[in-house]
Structure 1
Amino acid sequence: MDDPTTPVEATGVLDLGTAALRTMLGEDWEVSVEPEPAPEPHGGDVGWDAVIRLTARHGNIFTELLVDVRTRVTPKEVAGHIASKALLVRRINHYTRLMIFAPWISPKTQEELRRRQIDYLDLTGNVSLRVTHPAIIIHTQGADRAPASHRAPSSKPMLTGPRAGRLVRLLADVKPPYRATDLAKSAGISVPYVSKLLDSLEEQLLIERDNKIVTRVDWQGLLRTRASSLDLAHHGDPVGMLAPMGIPAVIERLAQADGFVAGNEVLVTGSYAARPIAPIAVGGQLMLYTGRRDDAAMTRLTHELNLLAVPEAADVLLLSPWDQSVWHRPAQYDRYWQVGLSQLILDCLSGPGRMPAEGEKVLEFMADDEDFWRLEDLSLASRNRPFKSGPGVQELL
């Protein structure tokens, strides 16, 4: 066991995890815990905390799980010494498996464990166990976010808040390499904050670095992780509107206004922004980010777009950007201006209804041609309205 789990904590996780295994396997299996292995001389570590034996009550067939109990496990740890340990276990005995027990295991870490064929169990119900002899296959889904009682205090920033949003969009929109100082300058945030966040992203295998230089960004994983901490309906502070003449009439006015309505910058997001790129559905609410929300500006905007405020059954939602990064790299794929692709992904994946599915289709589009939308240099990221696309035309301005 390599992380700082106290004996009491380890015993609690081990006991609860073993009990969960007994429940899942049922009465046809006996689940027993072997005595804790003796430590190696001079304070060494044998590499696991317990041996759990699974024995079929009919046939006396058994397998052994070498259980590594941890309070916290990251994708980087899985890709490093945990993967090496699992490989060693398999070389010693093909029928013996290494299994990770923890209070909670993140989706990204679960994915890395499965990819490396390492079993795991957490106390929220995330379980993956595949044994060939005797045949046992268990896969259950638990919490995809850490329960409050399982959150370890950390000085590292998380992918929440406006500053993290600015950095996430920059990492997604611009191809590496770059340093923390370059990112901080471009995003307008402090170098220490950027450095700490990059440390956290490296632990999650969302970026790779070589001597402090970011060399690779898992931009899809990064956007998904950021979106999982957002709720568009909450963060966008939506104001419901009704379009008496229909949404097409509003779209027509937006197209004529070239992104500015009565002096108020307006960008389309959500379903109507996803549709020109990856059409999978029709209808839905028209979602608009508005640059100003004071009474006078909203009155002029709603008058120009012919909208009426309604308490329910709105077909247009006016959203408030909670950070200026929402306005970065807007795009024009149809006749109207809309949020940039990385912002569109964040909005769709954190939105209601079918919006997450639309976001996934846009992700496919982005993955098919990164050169179309990702910038080659950070100096280009500060340019406003750099993207315009029409039928048969794809042009960087």
Structure 2
Amino acid sequence: MTDDHSPSPVLQQGLETLQDLLGPEWEVSVEPEPLPGPDMGWDAVLRVLARHDSRFTDLLVDVREHLTPKEVAGYLNSTAGLVRRISPNSQLVVFAPWISAKTQEELRQREIGYLDLTGNISLRVSRPAIVIHTEGDVRAPAAARSTSTKPLLTGPRAGRLVRLLADVHPPYRATELAKHAGLSLPYVSRLLDALEDQLLIGRNKKLVTSVDWQNLLRNRASHLDLMRQTTPQGMLAPNGVQAVLDRLVEHDGIIAGAKVLVTGSYAARPVAPVAVGGQLMLYVMPHSEHVRAVSKALKLIPVPEAADVQLLQAPDLSIFQRPRRYDRYRQVGLSQLVLDCLSGPGRMPAEGETVLEHMAVDEHLWRVPDLSHLPEVNLQTDQSELF
């Protein structure tokens, strides 16, 4: 809620947006008199009047600069219950500069209306009949981004923790996660706080007890762009892509002394039959000398366009952790494959969603039972345990 009774730009812009959507047959106005009693949990009351028959409804507006799914499930859910008890013909509605997709979902589940200034709007009123649902920005505009010190799901460090949370069954503590991910405890603690705010993990005090791994991977992927973050080098396979795969099988993923893993459409195909065609994408160890050595060993030719193979430099060695063997060759683990596909070009995001569906069928086939089953590795160096 706002901290004072001064006019809110968000409230004013939201009122104007709602009026424009409803049109001239409706009147939207702010009730001049506040409700009696102490702070009830909202900032203003908007009266929405149908001019043709004078029917109206009151929207109790909670104005927020930022809103998390956790706040919706907690405080706002309680406030919405209070509204239904004391004023059955009224509805709680949130106005904010921007509301994330996950937060929108939580609001809809609790029948709380919302309106953000980018065009994400959901409002359902039975009398008078009003149904509005529009979609706006899927990412926060620069002006609406939080100044919170909690880390976002960007960068290699976040990627390590996200994959660990997805790949290993809870429960576990921040200290254990920090140790296995090669990260500092303060960083892990801050990121876990942020994930809890987004309802991507559940905790009992300091113990992580549940992980919404599907939405966690989707959220992480939304911050990525595969073809920007891996310095791709397009290659032509003169003898065909199958010859490259055969050589990978022959050498068990060790080419020119460097680890190579398949990702993208070719890795999705064994678990998501919808994947067809596409370039062969291979992760190689970072640095250009590895790219040159691998391309030479696989008899690939660098080309500026029409490549059928892409060599991707791994931005972090954790990408090579927990690989899988599908078909005959080694490829990235399923969680990494989902991140790559969802953040990749063309049909790859659809392939990523299909892989997610496959993973959800039986988690026991790919999730590690607990952290004790993982070897300790030093991600600052090239360790054999990565394979």
Q: Taking structure 1 as the reference length, what is the TM-score of the superposition?
A: 0.92
Aligned amino acid, residue 216 of structure 2? L
Residue in 1 aligned with 2:341?
Answer: 348
| Over 6 Å off, 4+ runs | none
Residue in 2 aligned with 1:389?
Answer: none
Instruction: Report Cα offsets for 1:240-276 as digits up to 9, x if no partner.
Output: 1111222122111111121111212100001100000
Residue in 2 aligned with 1:388?
Answer: none
State how far apart, in whole Å, the 2-side matches of 1:292 and 1:148 are: 32
State how far apart, in whole Å, the 1-side matches of 2:127 and 2:135 are: 24
- In the TM superposition, 1:1-397 aligns within 5 A as 1=1, 5=3, 7=5, 11-35=8-32, 37=34, 40=37, 44-295=38-289, 297-382=290-375
State how far apart, in whole Å, the 2-side matches of 1:155 and 1:36 are: 38
Give 1:36 deviation, angstroms: 5.5
**RMSD of aligned Cα (Å):** 1.6
Aligned amino acid, residue 186 of structure 2? P
3-state DSSP class of the match of 2:234?
strand
State how far apart, in whole Å, the 1-side matches of 2:281 and 2:130 are: 48
State how far apart, in whole Å, the 2-side matches of 1:89 and 1:38 are: 12
Change in Cα spacing, 1:293 to 1:36, as seen in structure 2 (3 Å) is farther
Please identify, of 56-65 and 318-327, the stretch whose mean Cα deviation from structure 2 is larger: 56-65
Unpaired segments ≥5 residues, structure 1? 385-396
Give 1:93 deviation, angstroms: 3.1
- Identity %, equivalent residues: 63
Please identify, of 91-100 and 340-349, the stretch whose mean Cα deviation from structure 2 is larger: 91-100
8 A contact 1:268–1:287 mirrored in 2: yes
8 A contact 1:328–1:382 mirrored in 2: no
State how far apart, in whole Å, the 2-side matches of 1:117 and 1:371 are: 35
8 A contact 2:286–2:314 mirrored in 1: no
8 A contact 1:329–1:383 mirrored in 2: no
State how far apart, in whole Å, the 2-side matches of 1:120 and 1:219 are: 26
Give 1:313 deviation, angstroms: 1.4
State how far apart, in whole Å, the 2-side matches of 1:183 and 1:366 are: 22
State how far apart, in whole Å, the 1-side matches of 2:221 and 2:174 are: 22
Unpaired segments ≥5 residues, structure 2? 378-386
Give 1:121 deviation, angstroms: 0.4
Give 1:17 deviation, angstroms: 0.3
State how far apart, in whole Å, the 2-side matches of 1:36 and 1:321 are: 60
Give 1:92 deviation, angstroms: 2.6
State how far apart, in whole Å, the 2-side matches of 1:22 and 1:353 are: 39
Give 1:118 deviation, angstroms: 0.6
8 A contact 2:285–2:317 mirrored in 1: no
Aligned amino acid, residue 195 of structure 1? S
State how far apart, in whole Å, the 1-side matches of 2:3 and 2:263 are: 45
Q: How many residues align?
A: 378
Change in Cα spacing, 1:379 to 1:18, as seen in structure 2 (3 Å) is same
Aligned amino acid, residue 373 of structure 1? W
Instruction: Report Cα offsets for 1:173-229 as digits up to 9, x if no partner.
Output: 111111111111111111111111111111110111112100001111111111000
Please identify, of 284-293 and 340-349, the stretch whose mean Cα deviation from structure 2 is larger: 284-293
Residue in 1 aligned with 2:381?
Answer: none
Please identify, of 31-40 and 348-357, the stretch whose mean Cα deviation from structure 2 is larger: 31-40
State how far apart, in whole Å, the 2-side matches of 1:97 and 1:198 are: 33
State how far apart, in whole Å, the 2-side matches of 1:277 and 1:373 are: 12
